[in-house]
A and B are shown apart, each in its own frame.
Chain A
Amino acid sequence: MKHLLTPRALLLASAIALAPAAYAETPADTLVVAAAIDDIISLDPAQTFEFSGNDVNNNTYDRLVDFDPLDMDKGFQPSLAESWEVSEDGLSITFTIRDGVTFHSGNPVRAEDAAWSLQRVVKLNKTPAFILTQFGFTPENVEEKITFDGNKLTLTLDQPYAPTFVLNCLTADVASVIDKETVMSHAEGDDLGNTWLNTNEAGSGAFTLAAWQPNQAVQLAAYEDYWQGAPAMKRIVVRNVAESSAQRLLLEKGDIDAARNLTPTDVESLSSTDGVKIQDEPRGRILYMGLNQKDELLSNPAVIEAMKYLVDYEGITNSFLKGMFMTHQSFLPKGYLGALEEQPWTYDVEKAKQILADAGIEGGTITTKVRDLREYVDVAQALQASMAQAGLTLNIEQMTGAQVLDAYRAREVPIFLGEWGPDYSDPNTNAATFAYNPDNSDEARATGLLAWRNAYAVPEEMNEATVAATLEQDGEKRAQMYMDIQRQYQAEAPIVPLFQRIENTGLQENVQNWNSGGAVASVIYRQVTKGE
C-alpha cells in the first residue's frame, strides 16, 4: 500500500506545481488593451476595411486632415495639410502641406507622398477605394486629377462637391499619407508595395508598428519625433481576447488597462468594481430593421407603418441591450452632421393593431433569417412577441453572419435585423446607402445599397435630394437638407433605424483621455495618459 501513489501525494504534487506567481500592474508608460482583433486581414491603408485594422492605421499614419482626439465635435482639423483653398467654381481643392514633418523612416513628408498615396488607392482599387473614387477619380485619370507642385497638392473633382463632404472623406483611414520611397523600395511587380504594406507600416503617425501577430497581438511603439509631440504612452499592446468574461477578469486583476468588448452583464458588474471605470461613447453603428419589399405582406404601407410601433424601444434598451444601444430612429448616427434626433415612434401595440385593421389585414406569417449574434437574436425574439400580439407570426431562422449576409445581398431576407456601420465621417456615407437606389431591378445588382437589398424603390425626389446634398457648399444648409431627407425617410421608408450602438470601454481608474473614435473615427491613442 505504501508504494502506491496516495491521493494525498497527488494533491501535494499539484499544489507544488501550482505555486503562486507574482503579478504587477501594467508598466506606467504602457497601455495594455484587450479586444477582439481577429478581424485584421491587411494593414495596408489602401486595403484595410476592418474595425481593428483601422484602429491600427489610425495611429500609425496621419492624414491631410484629422480629428482632434480631445474635441471630436470640432470635426476635421488641419493635420499634414496646414491649410486648404477651394477654387471659385468648387471643382478643385488645393492643400498646403505642413513643413518639417517626417515619416518613421526619417524621410520628409512631401506633397508628392500625399498625391502618390491617394493615387495609389485609386489604382489598387481595393474595397475602400470608393471613398475616394466617388469624386470622379479612376485609375486612368487619377494622375491628372490628383497633382502636386512643391508643397501644394491639388484635387480636381468631377463635380463641385461640398467641401465638407470631400474633407470628411479625407479623414478616413484609406486617405492615409504613406512614405512613397520606403514603400516603393518593397514593391513587387506592379503591386505598389501592397504585399509588403499588408504586414508593415510606412506612416508618420504618433506610433510605429512594432509587431503584429494575427489573432494574438498588435504592438505599437511611440514615435519620438512625432510632429505634435511624442505621445505619453511609449508602448501600446493590444491583445486578442475574444471572451468578455476573460477581458473582465484581466481588467479586475489589473493586467490590462482597457477592455473593449464587454457584454452588458460584465459592464454592470464592473461599474461597481473599485479602481475601474466604464466610459460610454456613442459609435456610428445603427441597428435597423429592413423590411423586404419583395415580400407581399411587408410591402403593404400599413404593415410598414404598424411595424414601427411593434418595437419595444424602451423595453429593449432597458433590458438586454442596456448600455450597448440607445434608441435612435433616423439613419444618420448622432454625432454626424445633420443627424436627426427626433423619435416619432413608440411601442404601441394597440395603435399597430388599429393600423392593420383599418387596412383590412388579418394576420400573416413571415419567416426570416437572423445572424446568430446574441443582440440580434434577442431583438428578433422581442419583435416576434410583439408582432404576435398584433396577429402577425414571425419565424426566426438563426444562421452565421456570412450566411445571412449572402442571403441579404441576394435580396432574400424578409426582415433584416442587423447593424450598418458608416464608412467615413460624412453624412453621405449613410444617405447614399439607405436613401439612394436609382435602379431597383434585380439586374442592377447594387449589392452595396441597403435600399436595393431590401428592394426599396427610393422615390425619385429622394434620390435627387441625396445627390443634391453632396453638392451643397454651405454647411448649415447641407445639414438642413439631410434632416429633411431623414424626416421623409421616417415617414415612408420600409427600412427602420432602431438603435445606435454605444461602446462601453472598461478602463483602469488612472487611464485618462481614452477615445474609441466616437461616431466618426477609429480609436486614437496619442492623447492617452496614465495618472498615479
Chain B
Amino acid sequence: MAGTVLSLVLTLLGLLLVTFIIGRVMPIDPVLKVVGDRASQAQYDAAYQAMGLDKPLYIQFIGYIGDVLGGDFGRSISTGQLVIDDIKRVFPATLELAALGTLIGVCAGVPLGVIAAARRGGIIDQVARVVALVGYSMPIFWLGLMGLLLFYGILGWVGGPGRQGIIYDGMLPSVTGLVLVDSLLARDWAAFKDAFSHIILPASLLGYFSLAYISRMTRSFMLEQLSAEYITTARVKGLSETAVIWRHAFRNIAIPLVTVIALSFGSLLEGSVLTEIIFSWPGLGQYITKSLLAGDMNAVLGGTVVVGTCFIALNLLSDLLYRVLDPRSK
C-alpha cells in the first residue's frame, strides 16, 4: 500500500511538472495579462519580477512545490484572488454536475448495456448502438445549444444558463458549495427546485455522453460472461433468464464496471469545458481553460492538483472495491 501511495505521489509530481513546462513554453505572456497592453516597460518589469519569472524555471518549480506543501497555492492572476478560494468556488459546481451526470449515465447506461447484450441483435441492441454512435459523434456544443433552445427556450421545462435563477443567486447560505445540498440543508424547497431545473439539462447532456460509453462497455462485458460455461450450466438447471442475467452474469461484470464508471466520473470531473461554457456553468473546466489561455500558472497548477488528486483517489477507490467485490482476491 505504501508503495502504491508513493508511486501516486510521484505520478502527481510528474503531472505537475509536465503541466508547468507546457504552461511555460506556451507562447503566452502572463505578465501582459496582469499589466495589460498599455503598461510602460517599467511597470512590465516590476510585474515580471513580482511574479518571479526572472528566476530559472527549475527554481520556479521547486519554489511552487514548496509553497504547495505549505498549503499555499498562490494567487491567480486572472481573478486576482487566492487560487485556493477560486477552487473552493468552482470545484463544487463541477462536482455536482459530474456526480449527477454520472448517476444518469449509470442508471440508464448499465441496464441498456445489459439488455442489449441479453437480446443481442434485437431492437434494444440496435437502439443502444445508435445511442452510443450519436453520443460519440455528436458535437456537444451543438447538442447543448439545441437542448437549451428546446427545453428552456421553447418548452420552458428547465432553467436557463447558470447554476441558479437570478432571484436565488447569492441568496443561499453556502455550506458545502453544492447548491442542491445547500438548498436542502436550508430547507428551501423553491431554491432546490430552481437549482435542479438548472442542473438537469447540462447533467443529462454529460450523462448522455457517459451513458454512451458505459452502455457499450457493459454490453461487451456482458457478452463475454454470457458465452461462459457457467451461464450454460445455469440455463440447463432451468433458472429463469432474468435470474441468469442479473444474479449470475451481472454480478461478475460488476467489478470491471466499477472501474469504467470511476474513469467516466473522473473525466467528467475535469469539467466538460464546452458544456460549462454553453450553460454558463462556473466550474473547474472553464476555470482551468481560461487560466491556461491567460498563462495563469498558479491557477492551472492548482486545478491540475485537484483533478490529479481526484483521479488518483478514484483509482484507489476502484482498486479497493475490486478487492471487496472480487471473491478471488480474498
A58 to chain B, nearest CB (A): 17
Interface check B89, CB cutoff 8 A: yes
Interface check A360, CB cutoff 8 A: no
Interface check A5, CB cutoff 8 A: yes
Chain A contact residue count (CB 8 A cutoff): 63
Residues in chain B near residue A203, CB distance under 8 A: none
Considering the complex, give the chain A residue whose CB is closest to the CB of B290: A38
B172 to chain A, nearest CB (A): 12
How does the 8 Å CB contact mask read for A482-498 relative to B, with 1 for contact and 0 for none? 00000000000000000
Considering the complex, give the chain A residue whose CB is closest to the CB of B279: A246
Is the Cβ of A402 less than 8 Å from the Cβ of B33?
Answer: yes
Is the Cβ of B170 less than 8 Å from the Cβ of A18?
Answer: no
Contacts known (A237-B166, A237-B169); A7 close to B280, Cβ less than 8 A: no
Is the Cβ of B80 less than 8 Å from the Cβ of A198?
Answer: yes
CB < 8 Å neighbour of B277 from A243, A250, A253, A256: A243
Cα A210 to Cα B86 in complex, Å, equals 18
With most chain A CB atoms within 10 A of its CB, the pick from B151, B159, B280, B295 is B280
Cα A379 to Cα B38 in complex, Å, equals 25
Interface check B7, CB cutoff 8 A: no
CB < 8 Å neighbour of B81 from A18, A214, A253: A214
Residues in chain A near residue B170, CB distance under 8 A: 210-211, 213, 217, 219
Considering the complex, give the chain B residue whose CB is closest to the CB of A241: B280
Residues in chain B near residue A252, CB distance under 8 A: 153
Cα A63 to Cα B301 in complex, Å, equals 40
A36 to chain B, nearest CB (A): 10
Is the Cβ of A18 less than 8 Å from the Cβ of B290?
Answer: no
Contacts known (A130-B40, A213-B282); A18 close to B166, Cβ less than 8 A: no
Contacts known (A3-B242, A241-B280, A405-B32); A199 close to B158, Cβ less than 8 A: no
Interface check A354, CB cutoff 8 A: no
How does the 8 Å CB contact mask read for B235-271 relative to A, with 1 for contact and 0 for none? 0000000100010000000000000000000000000
How does the 8 Å CB contact mask read for A248-259 relative to B, with 1 for contact and 0 for none? 011011011000
Which of B193-201, B302-310, B320-328 forms part of the interface with chain A? B193-201
Interface check B130, CB cutoff 8 A: no
Contacts known (A127-B43, A213-B282, A239-B166); A21 close to B32, Cβ less than 8 A: no
Interface check A391, CB cutoff 8 A: no
CB < 8 Å neighbour of A49 from B29, B36, B115, B204: B36
Contacts known (A41-B77, A49-B38, A215-B79); A255 close to B166, Cβ less than 8 A: yes
B212 to chain A, nearest CB (A): 15
Is the Cβ of A243 less than 8 Å from the Cβ of B278?
Answer: yes
How does the 8 Å CB contact mask read for A1-21 relative to B, with 1 for contact and 0 for none? 001110100100010011111
Is the Cβ of A249 less than 8 Å from the Cβ of B200?
Answer: no
Interface check B48, CB cutoff 8 A: no
Is the Cβ of A405 less than 8 Å from the Cβ of B166?
Answer: no
A468 to chain B, nearest CB (A): 23
B23 to chain A, nearest CB (A): 13
A314 to chain B, nearest CB (A): 31
Is the Cβ of A216 less than 8 Å from the Cβ of B282?
Answer: yes
Cα A26 to Cα B145 in complex, Å, equals 23
* 14 A-B interface contacts by CB (under 8 A): A10-B111, A17-B200, A20-B157, A129-B43, A214-B78, A214-B81, A219-B169, A239-B169, A250-B161, A253-B152, A253-B153, A255-B165, A403-B27, A448-B40
Q: CB within 8 Å of A: which residues of B?
A: 27-29, 32-43, 46, 77-81, 86, 89-90, 108, 111, 115, 118, 124, 127, 145, 148-149, 151-153, 155-162, 165-167, 169-170, 193-194, 196-197, 200, 204, 242, 246, 277-280, 282, 286-287, 290, 293-295
Given contacts A24-B167, A448-B40, 8 further A-B contacts (CB under 8 A): A4-B118, A26-B166, A214-B81, A216-B89, A253-B160, A255-B166, A402-B28, A402-B295
